[in-house]
Structure 1
Amino acid sequence: MNRREVMSAGVAGAALTACASPNAGESITPEQYGKAFEGFAVNIESWWRDVPFEARFDLAAKNHFSHVEFWFIDSWDRKASDLAKLAGDAGVKVAQIVGDAPALAKPNVHGEFLDNIKRAIDNAKILDTDIVTITGHQDVEDVSTGDALKSYQDHFAASAELWEASSVYAAIEPFNPYDHPGHFINGHKEAQRICEEIGSPYIKMNWDLFHMQRHEGELIGNLRRGKDQICYMQLADSPDRHQPGTGEIDYKNVIRACREAGYTRPIGLELWAKDDNYARAREDIYKLATTL
């Protein structure tokens, strides 16, 4: 074990100790935690931010999560092969990654977009995942919303063959204007329309429940109407983007509706633990999972 591995092991062990159950006398077995967390993928960009990124794969496993998700690779100077080794050594699977995209409101970025997609697909294959979230819907000065949506759809339609040939999903992720201002796709309507009009089985949506609630509400009804265009889901409570139980969303009913609608993949825990208390966040996720 080299010096870096020793240091990572040390911080991972310390953080794991900090994640012990906060309730005196409570004894939950690793098997119970593991079963409860089967339906979730912990986002290691937003969890355990007090330790190096590389150490968070082990932390995910030691906290009994079987799946992880994270963000950019190429533009953040990360190597997919290194990340795949970290995941493999920790014994966790990668649920989804985020791919780079230029401002797709511009019609003249087609070549750059296709190059990004090819790299993203290669990364997904190395990481043994089949979902790449793509945004690229930032506003561009002097481009109307209508023109931006048309350009965005045209880019994705032209890329469909690449996604289909690789059997990797492109997941369009809408935002909300309160936490992510400056974007022209918010809520489900435009993204769902784009997916339906393109008609590709591999261009779908990352249905982030936090963004959906912040922008439009009616989580369960909209979910049922959009279920055929969903390939991935994420959650956080609203309005502060902490773990379920800290805000306004009844996630017990929402997640039940997700499963009833046919969604079987892990749900990404793209949330920021309230007060940076990861132990409490883990226990809140466990309590939620055991009520489903």
Structure 2
Amino acid sequence: MKRRSFIQKTALSTGALSVASNVTFANTLTNSTTHSYNLKYAPHLGMFKNLAGDDPIDQLNYMADQGFTAFEDNEMRKRPVEQQEKMAATMIKRGIEMGVFVAHEIHWTTPNLASGDLSKREEFLNDIKNSIEVAKRVNAKWMTVVPGHLDLKLKMGYQTANVVESLRQASALLEPHNITMVLEPLNFRNHPGLFLTDSPQAFEICRAVNSPSCKILFDIYHQQIQEGNLIPNMEASWPEIAYIQIGDNPGRKEPTTGEINYYNVFKWIHEQGYTGILGMEHGNSRNGEEGELAVIEAYQKVDGFL
């Protein structure tokens, strides 16, 4: 989008009183060389749809123009093959690294992996097989796994053993392709009743599976609610963390809108030598173009730790 047309569009959408401030910031953001991030923050589709349009390819190009070097898409597995291929080609062309997508059908309300039910395990493993093909198509190194709901009829030890066995079999499928499933603990408030909730629990499971293809997705939003004490908990489980996701709390919006000191958290992550992706798995705190510009401004702010 040319700068003149972008400014005109901004003026029409935000009103005369806010034109000056929005246009000044927009002039900065539309320059594709304005910002180089210290970490690989990964937006998702829809985050910049008002500025970039509805087309996924246009959105990927817009992300690259703003300096983002990574992208994640939970729904990639369900997209048509032709669209996956077009998105992959665009990411290669624009130097964008593919982050996670959800690898399987998640059982939010009924037990699956924790139950030890062999038909549920087979369903999961078939999804993993299919997701390997998706991962190869879009050059993904990681895929998200959520073990599903608790089985209230079994003691926790048995449930853990059932989950570990399923993940060992999935790891055997993934290892030849150098693909890693990342286990995501989820908080009790948004997702009550799930088996996997805490970073120590995820750490224990990864150690039991004992595979480079089974690691932790540390979602900072979820773990702020579930356990807090973010940096010490990340440090304790760091050897098994392969992927990080972002969202402020309360609200699950961009950094600077809640209680988490993302400036310090990102500084600590950078100091560990982390070269992986940080998925921007959150909403925008404000609607429209103004809200999308605010997301970019927030990331530039909290990324300024060097």
TM-score (norm 2): 0.81
For residues 284 and 66 of structure 1, the distance between their equivalents in structure 2, rounded to whole angstroms, comes to 17
Counterpart check, 1:202 vs 2:203: no
Deviation at 1:168, TM superposition (A): 0.3
- The answer as to 2:102 corresponding to 1:98 is yes
1:224 touches 1:261 (CA, 8 Å); kept in 2?
A: no
Task: Note the C-alpha offset of 1:86.
Answer: 2.4
Indicate whether 1:228 and 2:239 are aligned.
Answer: yes
Could you say if the C-alpha distance between residues 154 and 238 of structure 1 is closer, same or farther in structure 2, counting changes exceeding 3 Å?
same
Question: Map of 1:1-292 to 2, 5 A cutoff?
Answer: 18=10, 22=21, 25=24, 28=28, 29-33=31-35, 35-36=36-37, 39-44=40-45, 47-48=47-48, 52=54, 54=56, 55-74=58-77, 76=78, 78-89=79-90, 91=94, 92-101=96-105, 103-107=112-116, 108=118, 109-140=120-151, 142-276=153-287, 277-292=291-306
> What is the DSSP-based 3-state SS (H/G/I as helix, E as strand, rest coil) of the residue aligned with 1:121?
helix
Q: Percent of pairs identical after alignment? A: 24
Query: Deviation of residue 223 (structure 1)?
Result: 0.9
CA distance in 2, matches of 1:95, 1:61: 14
Q: 1:17 to 1:148 in 2, by over 3 A?
A: farther
Give per-residue Cα distances to partners, 1:33-53, cap 9 Å, x unaligned: 2x12752111225x2466536
My pick for the range that moved more, 107-116 or 222-231, is 107-116
SS of the residue 1:97 aligns to: coil
Report which stretch shifted further, 203-212 or 176-185.
176-185
The 3 A distance-change label for structure 1 pair 96 and 16 is farther
Q: Report the alpha carbon displacement of residue 97 of structure 1 after superposing the two structures with TM.
A: 1.7
Deviation at 1:145, TM superposition (A): 4.0
Instruction: Report the 3-state secondary structure (helix = DSSP H, G, I; strand = E; otherwise coil) of the residue aligned with 1:286.
Output: helix
Distance 1:274-1:147 versus aligned 2 partners, 3 A rule: same
What amino acid does structure 2 have at the position aligned with 1:241? Answer: R
Query: Does the residue aligned with 1:148 lie in a helix, a strand or coil?
Result: helix
Given that 2:146 and 2:183 are in contact with CA atoms closer than 8 Å, whether structure 1 keeps it comes out as yes
Q: Tell me the number of residue pairs that the alignment of Structure 1 and Structure 2 aligns.
A: 278
CA contact (8 A) 2:144 2:183 kept: yes
**Rounded Cα–Cα distance in structure 1 between residues aligned with 2:295 and 2:305:** 16
Distance 1:80 1:233, change over 3 A: farther
Separation (CA, whole Å) in 2 of partners of 1:48 and 1:25: 18
Describe the SS at the equivalent of 1:291: coil
Residues 91-127 of structure 1: per-residue CA shift (max 9 Å, x gap): 2331222211453123222222211111111111110
Which of structure 1's runs of 4+ aligned residues deviate more than 4 A? 13-27
CA distance in 2, matches of 1:144, 1:184: 12
List runs of 5+ in structure 1 lacking aligned partners: 1-8
The 3 A distance-change label for structure 1 pair 14 and 115 is: farther
Contact 1:192 1:229 in 2 (8 A): yes
So what's the TM-score if we normalise by structure 1?
0.84
